[in-house]
Amino acid sequence: DYAPPRYDGPRAAEILRKRSEYLSPSMFYFYKKPLNIVDGKMQYLFDQDGRRYLDAFAGIATVCCGHCHPDVVDAVVRQTSHLQHSTVVYLNHAIADFAEALASKLPGDLKVVFFTNSGTEANELALLITRLYTGCHDIVSVRNAYHGNAAGTMGTTAQYNWKFNVMQSGVHHAMNPDPYRGAFGSDGEKYARDVQEIIEFGTSGQVAGFISESIQGVGGVVELAPGYLPAVYESIRKAGGLCIADEVQSGFARTGSHFWGFEAHGIVPDIVTMAKGIGNGIPLGAVVTTPEIAQVLTRRNYFNTFGGNPVCTAGGLAVLRVLEKENLQHNALLVGSYLKGRLKALQQKHEIIGDVRGRGMMLGVELVTDRKQKTPARTEISHAMDQMKDMGVLVGKGGFYGNVFRITPPLCFTKEDADFFTEVMDI
Ligand code: PLP
């Protein structure tokens, strides 16, 4: 019963021309010839010709409930017809209800919410809060992390090798606790000593804070070595700093075993940042912290125009309800573990698969031309992505060398989808 709009030849050619003339070249990182996607329905996307694609990337790990989930669409449409915008200067039930529902998903005293429009802004604010609260400037982040692309977050991102990164004074990049490529394998405590040394040798002994993802997403779905985060949190807190968990990608049930990625590490952060899954594709982000820490923003007149927009927060509330009603965290765990098992079996068959990792529906497959040397298979991954696209499957890529498949589908992915995905990848 589904018929996406179809464009004839001249219209399609016109879109192609506009894309190459007016859109940023960075749009062509994933596909040299990107698709013209016109429609989405749950785990599927549809191109201009009505061709259906199984979406294993979910708009960069964002669409958690499924594309255009009817409950989310309904909540957004209803709110749009009442009030589209007011700013957080005024109260509105959509903002207040969502803030309460969000706080109920977090442990301990984490219950004061600041809304933003994106993950980048959430992290910018979190970094600012650590500095205001502690009166210190030094921040520690992890190499290969991704925290956003504004001035502050780009500095903590530690992936870009751009001269503009020097804007970030006071940011220290710690060794990446990467079990596959890191010098200490899976020994989290050894990597954590690097943070301790940064504090001792690179700062006054006092720091503002530490920021890390629970599983690195853009960096190639890198699971941090066990024991790393608890040890680092202890060192940072001893040095007076606050610990930020960047849950932009790993939050909202994506990792399956827990609602938040940090829970798997047995830690409770001082500040949690989130975006992506929070709105199922509606631009929204948030910073959640404790009432005591939140005090630093009293009388500082800190807000942004769209943060807490009622249409977005109404959508956010619907997302939380759908996640619960459809038990999507459980599905992420079951189907994600099944898919990981199938991908591990592929690894036995194909020399090019160096590593299969991740949790729930945040999985990574790293391609190497030589398993011993771990030489990144860059060209091969681009070819494979094109071939998979032709066979009806969309997937992401990332990692420092751009050689890791990022598999982050909508959490409604089924076992049959996982089978189809694996068969298409087995080429
Ligand atoms: N933090 C993490 C872990 C991310 O993966 C991203 C984006 O990919 C961001 C922050 C930045 O979020 P946004 O692109 O919404 O600004």
Same domain, 84 and 218: yes
Q: Is 265 helix (H, G, I), strand (E, B) or coil?
A: helix
Same domain, 178 and 119: yes
Same domain, 143 and 54: no
Mean pLDDT to the nearest integer, 98-121: 97
CA of 145, closest atom in ligand 1: 3
Mutate to test the pocket of ligand 1, among 60, 120, 144 (most ligand atoms within 8 A of CB): 120
Residue pair 33/383 in contact by the 8 Å Cβ criterion: no
Report DSSP state, residue 225.
P
Q: Which percentage of the chain shows pLDDT scores above 70? A: 96
Same domain, 288 and 360: no
Q: Which residues does ligand 1 sit against, CB inside 6 Å? A: 60, 118-120, 123, 146-148, 213, 217-218, 246, 248-249, 275
Same domain, 317 and 335: no
CA of 216, closest atom in ligand 1: 3
Same domain, 54 and 84: no
Same domain, 90 and 206: yes
How many whole angstroms from 119 Cα to the centroid of ligand 1?
Answer: 5
Residue with tokens 């010839």: 33
How many whole angstroms from 120 Cα to the centroid of ligand 1?
Answer: 6
Residue with tokens 């205001």: 132
Please name the residue whose Cα sits nearest to atom 13 of ligand 1.
119
Q: Comparing 11-15, 50-54, 127-131, 160-164, which segment has the lowest mean pLDDT?
A: 160-164
Q: Which two tokens stand for residue 321?
A: 């309800």
How many whole angstroms from 3 Cα to the centroid of ligand 1?
Answer: 33
Residue 169 has pLDDT above 90, yes or no: no
Mean pLDDT to the nearest integer, 249-258: 98
Model pLDDT, residue 9: 67
Residue with tokens 């066990």: 226
Mean pLDDT to the nearest integer, 221-241: 98
CA of 275, closest atom in ligand 1: 15
Same domain, 144 and 282: yes
CA of 247, closest atom in ligand 1: 3
Say how far residue 365 (Cα) sits from the centre of its chain: 17
Same domain, 242 and 288: yes
For residue 340, how many other CB atoms are within 10 A of its CB?
22
Say how far residue 214 (Cα) sits from the centre of its chain: 10
Mean pLDDT to the nearest integer, 350-370: 98
DSSP count for the chain of H helices, then E strands = 13, 18
Please name the residue whose Cα sits nearest to atom 1 of ligand 1.
147
Residue 206 pLDDT level (bands cut at 50, 70, 90):
very high
CA of 218, closest atom in ligand 1: 5
CATH number assigned to the domain comprising residue 25: 3.90.1150.10
Residue 158 pLDDT level (bands cut at 50, 70, 90):
confident
Residue 4 has pLDDT above 60, yes or no: no
Task: Check residues 45 and 29 and name the one with the higher pLDDT.
Answer: 45
CA distance 10 to 298: 56
Please name the residue whose Cα sits nearest to atom 5 of ligand 1.
249
Indicate the number of domains in the chain: 2
Residue 78 pLDDT level (bands cut at 50, 70, 90):
very high
Element at 397 (helix H, strand E) = strand 396-398
Task: Check residues 102 and 300 and name the one with the higher pLDDT.
Answer: 102
CA distance 311 to 307: 11
Beta strand segments in 320-361, E: 353-359
Residue 401 pLDDT level (bands cut at 50, 70, 90):
very high
Domain range for 186 is 70-325
Report the chain's mean pLDDT, rounded to a whole number: 93
Residue 1 pLDDT level (bands cut at 50, 70, 90):
very low
Mean pLDDT to the nearest integer, 114-140: 97
Same domain, 220 and 367: no
Model pLDDT, residue 166: 53
Mean pLDDT to the nearest integer, 185-213: 97
